[in-house]
Amino acid sequence: DFKSEAFLGNVFSLSVPSGVKSERYINRQPFYERFYRELQMSEAEVDEMLDSASRAGKHNEFYETATMLNLDTTVVASYLIKSAFESAPEESQKIVDFVRGFL
């Protein structure tokens, strides 16, 4: 069962409820690790950031997060997308393979 559409939706909408442990949602652990490594943020701070980004609505997530962190939107988008891809490696590979099919 191909879940890449849901995965892409989660990458861009960050609609992952706090504490949810389900295959339907992206694992937040890679987000915790990256934002701790890059910005020394706690898990609670990352949860708050992701929840706030999710509430910002479609296409406003990166801007909302960048504003919260006082960083460039491109930097924030990079962190979020890399973390999302790390959180679901099998789905990420399907997306990479799909894109490579067009090259």
Return d(Cα 36, Cα 97) in angstroms, integer: 30
pTM: 0.68
Residue 53, CA atoms < 13 Å, CB-side half-sphere: 28
Give, for all 103 residues of the chain, the pLDDT tens digit: 344 445 545 554 444 445 544 334 567 888 999 999 999 999 999 999 988 888 887 778 888 899 999 999 889 888 888 888 888 888 788 888 888 888 8
How much is the pLDDT for 55? 84
Return d(Cα 101, Cα 67) in angstroms, integer: 36
